[in-house]
Amino acid sequence: MILPITAYGHPILKKVAQDIDKDYPNLDKLIDDMFETMYYSKGVGLAAPQIDQSIRLLVIDATPYSDDFPEAKNFKKVMINARIIEESGVEWAFNEGCLSVPDIREDVMRKPKIRIKYFDQDFNEFDEEYEGVAARIIQHEYDHLEGVLFVERLAPLKKMLLKRRLTDISKGNIKIDYRMKFPFQYKKIKK
């Protein structure tokens, strides 16, 4: 099932997501739905807050980058309760985009290497290191679990120049070919 994606300005994108355990209801179905939603909207990663669930779950499939970056080849992951333990190396720029912030792409500076602990879909624990684009996609999705969007990592001037476009996104004044959940819809439901 394709799920709507929370748009810039939606409060769930600002929250720190919570750990889950094996008994989390319908987890396999949720993971399948997240992959389906990600593929449909042509993303390479999706974090649970983007489908309006504040839990530490993310999915990645870096296949679209595999021609240009060898580390992206066969890089398909489900990560549960992820914690980045260490980031190292000299920061590099990579052009990032986000399904919650459609039609905006900007260079973001991040460190090239990470060490991360997480559980897979069957709750096996892993402690791994990643580099390059693989690390980059994890870092971007991981930020979603911490309530951070890539536009918040831009220099203040750059962010200021994007302000109107970001406001348009949060108000739903955009053309997109996938379904989104906007902040005003959230307020309507809560009242």
Nearer to Ni ion, 84 or 123 (CB): 84
Nearest-approach distance from CB 145 to Ni ion, in angstroms: 11
Nearest-approach distance from CB 99 to Ni ion, in angstroms: 6
Q: Nearest Cα to 129, choosing from 112, 113, 111?
A: 113
| DSSP annotation of 19 | P
Nearest-approach distance from CB 6 to Ni ion, in angstroms: 10
Choosing from 91, 141, 146, 152, the catalytic residue is 141
Nearest-approach distance from CB 43 to Ni ion, in angstroms: 8
Q: Which two structure tokens, joined as six digits, stand for 15?
A: 């929250």
CB atoms within 10 A of CB 6: 24
Handedness of CA 175, 179, 181, 185 (dihedral sign): positive
Q: Nearest Cα to 152, choosing from 14, 2, 5?
A: 14
H or E, element range at 114: strand 113-119
Catalytic-residue membership of 141: yes
Place of tokens 């902040």: 183
Distant-in-sequence, close-in-space partners of 60: CB < 8 Å, separation ≥ 6: 44, 45, 75, 76, 77, 79, 137, 138, 141
Nearer to Ni ion, 102 or 112 (CB): 102
Query: DSSP 3-state assignment of 24?
Result: coil
Q: Nearest Cα to 186, choosing from 175, 165, 171, 174?
A: 171
Could you list the residues that contact Ni ion (CB under 5 A)?
A: 98
Nearer to Ni ion, 98 or 114 (CB): 98
Nearer to Ni ion, 10 or 26 (CB): 10
Q: List, by residue number, the catalytic residues.
A: 141
